[in-house]
């Protein structure tokens, strides 16, 4: 089997921009794409850096730096989240916008990839300060986004309320109500039913397919989830409802383990008021790093990128890794895991449920016609199953790993669009 990561031995890079360029090279070379197409795919079309002032509650002014990367709009408008995080970097935002392009292509959405970020920890600010921070960022990027240009969405440390503030700011600047400028909004202002659970629901759909593919029963399958934010919590609940045993979860403060399965309702309640380590009487407390190495059927990295690297990949025992986070495995880790026979559901497929239902929300906003939650979930299921089978088919045809196959599926669609538009 050819791997996404058959490269010469070298020091492991944790720079996400370098990682995604390497992933592009491997998949594009297998497809024998022309060099000019590869070079276009390896660079964002536009990257915006902004610095904007925000008045804090004590009357002082703080200047925030933010970014918006717009990768490739061959298939349609740009699409991608906005994160507020103290560790946001320009290269991270560029890489995430590129992964978004391939994610949209995998599930067949008429979008290219975008991504935004502000260097800030919103937990250190009041609600009023977070609102001013959010509105200020939208003011700074408003000329570069729009319902037919670039449609942001929530990401790390942003949520429906933040999207509501940003949509309102954009609407005021443009002088017209524009719900289609952003997705992941509250239902009252154009949000979609099913959106809050979409990332996790899409991931669970792919996990069920992977278990079926490996002839492993869903009932009593053991699950470990690193990251207990929205995606991790919802995935835990959905998998528990299917009869799986969620034996370990963690958040930024630590983790808990119970061999017979955790009470997910109780764990969610603990997280809503504090952290998962507040859970009463776990079998043992563990670190997030220890969670990655548990002997479980399915490991779900649902936190940040680069958590599985060459230093710990050999100790990862899960039979299936379902990437609910973006970029949790480095290329060197991929190589080790693929050689071990681990089935990796790559991020561009595994967490594509979120952008898929964001697309549904955008369609509903533009048509002013809204669907039931069942309609949303049924359409999501159809998209995810089709994408999973398409990736599996390409992996079998070319004898490549699933990440390479997912990139290939997407690249074929993007390359065709670029050629038909006369770009190359």
Q: Which residues have a catalytic role annotated? A: 115
Helices 353-367 + 90-106 axis angle, to 10: 80
Which residues lie across from 118 on neighbouring strands? 66, 84
Question: Do residues 387 and 107 make contact, with C-beta atoms less than 8 angstroms apart?
Answer: yes
Token readout for 122 is 């919103």
Question: Do residues 149 and 114 make contact, with C-beta atoms less than 8 angstroms apart?
Answer: no
d(CA 31, CA 394): 11
Question: Do residues 290 and 315 make contact, with C-beta atoms less than 8 angstroms apart?
Answer: no
């Amino acid at each position: 089997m050819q791997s996404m990561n058959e490269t010469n031995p070298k020091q492991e890079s944790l720079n996400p921009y370098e990682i995604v360029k390497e992933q592009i090279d491997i998949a594009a070379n297998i497809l024998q794409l022309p060099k000019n197409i590869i070079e276009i795919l390896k660079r964002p079309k536009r990257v915006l850096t902004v610095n904007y002032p925000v008045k804090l509650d004590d009357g002082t002014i703080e200047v925030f730096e933010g970014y918006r990367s717009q990768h490739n709009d061959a298939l349609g408008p740009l699409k991608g989240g906005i994160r507020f995080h103290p560790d946001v970097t320009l290269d991270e935002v560029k890489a995430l916008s590129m992964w978004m392009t391939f994610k949209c292509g995998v599930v067949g959405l008429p979008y290219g990839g975008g991504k935004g970020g502000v260097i800030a920890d919103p937990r250190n600010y009041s609600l009023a300060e977070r609102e001013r921070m959010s509105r200020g960022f939208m003011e700074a990027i408003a000329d570069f986004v729009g319902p037919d240009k670039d449609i942001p969405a929530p990401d790390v440390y942003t949520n429906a309320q933040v999207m509501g503030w940003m949509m309102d700011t954009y609407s005021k600047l443009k002088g017209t109500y524009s719900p289609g400028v952003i997705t992941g909004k509250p239902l009252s202002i154009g949000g979609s039913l099913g959106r809050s659970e979409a990332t996790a629901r899409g991931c669970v759909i792919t996990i069920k397919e992977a278990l079926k593919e490996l002839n492993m029963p869903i009932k009593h399958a053991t699950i470990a989830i690193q990251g207990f934010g929205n995606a991790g919590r919802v995935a835990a609940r959905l998998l528990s409802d299917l009869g799986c045993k969620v034996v370990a979860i963690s958040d930024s403060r630590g983790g808990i383990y119970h061999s017979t399965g955790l009470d997910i309702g109780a764990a969610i309640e603990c997280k809503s008021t504090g952290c998962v380590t507040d859970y009463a009487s776990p079998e043992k407390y563990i670190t997030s790093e220890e969670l990655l190495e548990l002997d479980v059927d399915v490991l779900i990295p649902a936190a940040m990128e680069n958590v599985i690297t060459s230093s710990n990949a050999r100790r990862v025992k899960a039979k299936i890794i379902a990437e609910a986070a973006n970029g949790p495995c480095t290329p060197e880790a991929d190589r080790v895991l693929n050689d071990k026979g681990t089935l990796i559901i790559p991020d561009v497929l595994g967490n594509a449920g979120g952008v898929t239902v964001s697309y549904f929300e955008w369609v509903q906003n533009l048509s002013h016609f809204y669907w039931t939650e069942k309609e949303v979930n049924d359409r999501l299921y159809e998209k995810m199953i089709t994408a999973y089978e398409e990736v599996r088919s390409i992996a079998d045809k070319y004898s490549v790993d699933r990440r390479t196959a997912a990139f290939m599926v997407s690249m074929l669609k993007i390359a065709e669009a670029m050629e038909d538009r006369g770009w190359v």
